[in-house]
Amino acid sequence: MNIHEYQAKQLLAQYGVNVPFEIPAKSLAEVRPAAEKIAASGSAKVVVKSQIHAGGRGKGTFKSGFQGGVKVTSSVDEAVEVAGKMFGQTLVTKQTGAEGRQVQTLLLAAGAKIKKEFYLAVLLNRETSRPLIMASTEGGMDIEEVAEKHPEKICKETIDPAVGIMPYQARKVAAALGLKGDLFNAGVKLITGVYNTWWECDAAMVELNPLAVVELADGKETVMALDAKISLDDNALYRHKNIMEMRDLNEEAPLEIEASKFALNYIKLDGSIACLVNGAGLAMATMDIVQHFGAMPANFLDVGGGASKDQVTAAFKIILSDPNVKGILVNIFGGIMDCNVIATGIVAAVKETGLKLPLVVRLEGNNVAAGKKTLAESGVAIINGDTMSDAAQKIVKAVGK
């Protein structure tokens, strides 16, 4: 699960990470009072930041034509004016895809005089099965590009989960960022806090880009998280009720939300062949074989190991809500599940949804003969696929007609 920047900073602040003074606004009416508080705090600038679950906001464009999802304004009035051009509008960035995301929350923040920008992240290193802190002096840049072109500019520190982050490790990272004096000590505290946020919140990734040295109104310098992104381990959400409440359904595809209600794992894609499969690996492989034979999959859909009739019916309805779908490929390897139960579910779903599109079903496994008989005698138009290859070719051909 992903959360918004303002929510990420709320979590980070709980673990002692220094963040700018900022206030989220969930309606246009909340913008002016928030901007006034920011101005009253002594900040000459008010930053208005669109809150969507995608990067590249600053360089994004609204569908209205307004440029930039993040704006630095010089007055409360200007902040309110800019907010009016962002609120409720759809922002398109390099990460949102062409459809963009509707902005429903704005973050108003005190403007910071940036002296230097860094990159800091905590993530799981799959090779060592241990947490890894990654830091770079090249802040505000695409870290993957830095990793490729200047790997020497990235500092990596592996944490032993038995003891957690040790102070010397935070000092190593702070030193690698070139922090000195008071900033060094502030950096150590911040780095430790970022790691602790990752560990305590069961995050998959915590990323500050940029982490910055900023000059305060009194001329003093400090380090703070100017931007923050946190994604959480879905499997651990059960022990974080406060974080679960941060879920924003507006950021999720409606069909994916509907699928999750039936414990179906569905991801919408751009192709025309809908796939209904049991098991994640087989579901991916089914998408791949559709592409191999010249069409594109419309979705990833794993109905799980013990799919019920209700789940199969729900799956069909979800698939059919996608207007791009021109044909359906069902691929079930019923190892333990009874293929006849699945076949009965498919027939019921076809009848209930009044399916008109071509449907190829490939069944294999337990009680498969009875399952195939049920499909054949059902009176509904189902094309039988014998192997994955046969089934994929048949659906591609049927749709191509």
Partner 1 sequence: MAILVTPQTKVLVQGITGSFGAKHAQLSIDYGTLIVAGVTPGKGGQFFEHGGKKVPIFDTVAEAVKQSGATASAVFVPPPFAADAILEGADAGLELVVAITEGIPVRDMVRVKRAMQGNTKTRLIGPNCPGLVTPGEGKDSHGGCRIGIAPGYIHKKGNIGVVSRSGTLTYEAVWQLTSRGVGQSTCVGIGGDPVNGTSHLDVIKLFNADPETTGIIMIGEIGGSAEEEAAEWIKANCKKPVAGFIAGATAPPGRRMGHAGAIVSGGKGTAEAKIAAFKAAGIGVAVTPSEMADTLLKMM
β-pairing, 154-158 with 229-232?
unpaired
Near partner 1 by CB under 8 A: residue from 77, 160, 215, 352? 160
Q: Which of 138, 157, 207, 266 is catalytic?
A: 207
Q: Does residue 273 bind partner 1 (CB under 8 A)?
A: no
Q: Collect all residues with Cβ–Cβ distance below 8 Å to 137 and sequence separation of at least 6.
A: 118, 153, 176, 177, 178
What DSSP string runs through 370-383?
HHHHHHHTS-S--E
Q: Does residue 131 bind partner 1 (CB under 8 A)?
A: yes
Q: Does residue 98 bind partner 1 (CB under 8 A)?
A: no
Record the tokens describing residue 52, joined without a space: 């969507």
Determine how many CB atoms are found less than 10 A away from the CB of residue 79: 27
Could you tell me the smallest distance in angstroms from the CB atom of residue 346 to partner 1? 17
Judged on CB neighbours under 10 Å (0-12, 13-18, 19+), 228 is: buried
Near partner 1 by CB under 8 A: residue from 72, 236, 263, 320? 236
User: 288 to 317, contacts with partner 1 by CB under 8 A?
Assistant: 288-292, 296-297, 300, 302, 305
Q: Does residue 279 bind partner 1 (CB under 8 A)?
A: yes
What SS3 class is residue 250? Answer: helix
By beta-carbon proximity to partner 1, the closer residue of 96 and 105 is 96
Q: Is 207 a catalytic residue?
A: yes
User: 342 to 371, contacts with partner 1 by CB under 8 A?
Assistant: 364-366
Q: Which of 119, 138, 157, 195 is catalytic?
A: 119
Give the residue from 9, 254, 238 showing the smallest Cα distance to 110: 9
Could you tell me the smallest distance in angstroms from the CB atom of residue 127 to partner 1? 7
Binding piece for partner 1, criterion CB under 8 A, among 13-21, 111-119, 279-287, 313-321: 279-287
Binding piece for partner 1, criterion CB under 8 A, among 4-12, 57-65, 72-80, 158-166: 158-166
CA distance 328 to 66: 40
Q: Does residue 138 bind partner 1 (CB under 8 A)?
A: no
Give the residue from 58, 50, 43, 49 showing the smallest Cα distance to 111: 43
Could you tell me the smallest distance in angstroms from the CB atom of residue 379 to partner 1? 29
By beta-carbon proximity to partner 1, the closer residue of 31 and 259 is 259
Q: Which long-range contacts (CB under 8 A, 24 or more apart) does 202-205 make?
A: 202/232, 202/233, 202/236, 202/237, 202/239, 202/240, 203/122, 203/230, 203/231, 203/232, 203/233, 204/123, 204/124, 204/231, 204/232, 204/233, 205/121, 205/122, 205/123, 205/229, 205/230, 205/231
Residue 335 has φ and ψ, to the nearest 5°, of -65, -60
**378: amino acid identity, one letter:** S
Give the residue from 196, 224, 201 showing the smallest Cα distance to 2: 201
Q: Does residue 233 bind partner 1 (CB under 8 A)?
A: yes
Could you tell me the smallest distance in angstroms from the CB atom of residue 364 to partner 1? 6
By beta-carbon proximity to partner 1, the closer residue of 215 and 234 is 234
Contact flags string 48-87 toward partner 1, x per CB under 8 A: ----------------------------------------
Judged on CB neighbours under 10 Å (0-12, 13-18, 19+), 328 is: buried
Could you tell me the smallest distance in angstroms from the CB atom of residue 7 to partner 1? 19
User: 184 to 203, contacts with partner 1 by CB under 8 A?
Assistant: 199, 202
Q: Does residue 384 bind partner 1 (CB under 8 A)?
A: no
Length of the chain: 401
Residues that bind partner 1 (CB under 8 A): 124, 126-127, 129-131, 143-144, 147, 160-162, 199, 202, 204, 233-236, 238-239, 265, 267, 269, 277-292, 296-297, 300, 302, 305, 333, 335-336, 364-366, 387-390, 392
Return the active site residues.
119, 207
